[in-house]
Amino acid sequence: MPKTSSPSTTTTTRPFIFQQLYQLFTILYKYFQSTLFIKTQTPVTKASTTVHNSINLQYYKGKTLVLDLDETLVHSVRLGTTESTVNASIKKKTIEVTSDKQSILYEVYKRPHVDFFLSTISQWYKVVIFTASMSEYADPVIDWLDQDQTLISQRYFRQSCLLKNGNFLKDISIAESDLSKVCLIDNSPSAYELCQENAIPLPTWISNPKDDCLLDLLPLLDALRFTADVRSILSLRDPKHI
């Protein structure tokens, strides 16, 4: 079922995202600028070019992106328990979940741009869903997000989380043992307590039809796939926002 941790505030979602993106891209720009300067000062031979391209290819290959599900990619409402306030323009689907021989219906809403987001990042990363929800609920939701079974490589559910003080912590090393090559996008800070240097915080989404947070992430994710160690960039965030 959808995770029960308290949703974080969404009042500062856009300023927060842009602040983080500006900080990270300033660092990336300075890095690439220094790299280009060194290249212009150093004679380039065919052998050195081959080695450089080989190293770049090594950085590019094999990166893994771990995604949370609820309030990150979708929002779910259990029918019969609350009145839905999600905008009618949001794509939705009714999911039936059988639990303890009882049938429960959920109205599941897609975060704006999630289809484009998944189709894009699946070309850059090995994409993994890691959710604190039970598989009985999460599996059909993921099937809806990835109808052709071509975007998402692996799925991990609540039983793969570590329970601590009522929070479900995610050990992303089960998806990728080399932590230099893996990022976690999640709206819940407690979820990435074990891997803060790999985390990309994302504001909680509930119902805003004009939310662009997933689109805002794409330039950052595009750049991170070329780094030798994603932690060298992500760990530079302001600790107050981790």
* Whole-number percent of the chain with pLDDT over 90: 64
Averaged pLDDT, 13-18: 54
Q: Is 100 known to be catalytic?
A: no
In a domain, 202, yes or no: yes
Supply the range of the domain harboring residue 136.
64-74+111-235
- Say whether 102 sits in a helix, a strand or coil: strand
In the predicted model, what is the mean pLDDT of the chain? 81
Q: What's the confidence (pLDDT) of residue 8?
A: 42
Averaged pLDDT, 25-45: 45
Instruction: Find out whether 98 and 29 touch, Cβ atoms under 8 Å.
Output: no
In a domain, 6, yes or no: no
Instruction: Name 96's Cβ contacts closer than 8 Å, sequence gap at least 6.
Output: 103, 104, 105, 106, 140
In a domain, 54, yes or no: no
In a domain, 20, yes or no: no
Rounded CA-CA distance 205/82 in Å is 17
Rounded CA-CA distance 52/31 in Å is 16
pLDDT in tens, 76-100: 999 876 665 678 889 999 999 987 7
In a domain, 41, yes or no: no
- The model's pTM is 0.77
Q: Is 70 known to be catalytic?
A: yes
Rounded CA-CA distance 78/83 in Å is 9
Domain count, the chain: 1
Residue 60 in tokens = 């590019």
Q: What's the confidence (pLDDT) of residue 102?
A: 86
pLDDT over threshold 80, residue 172: yes
Q: What's the confidence (pLDDT) of residue 239?
A: 57
- CATH, residue 198: 3.40.50.1000
Beta bridge partner(s), residue 102: 99
pLDDT over threshold 90, residue 108: yes
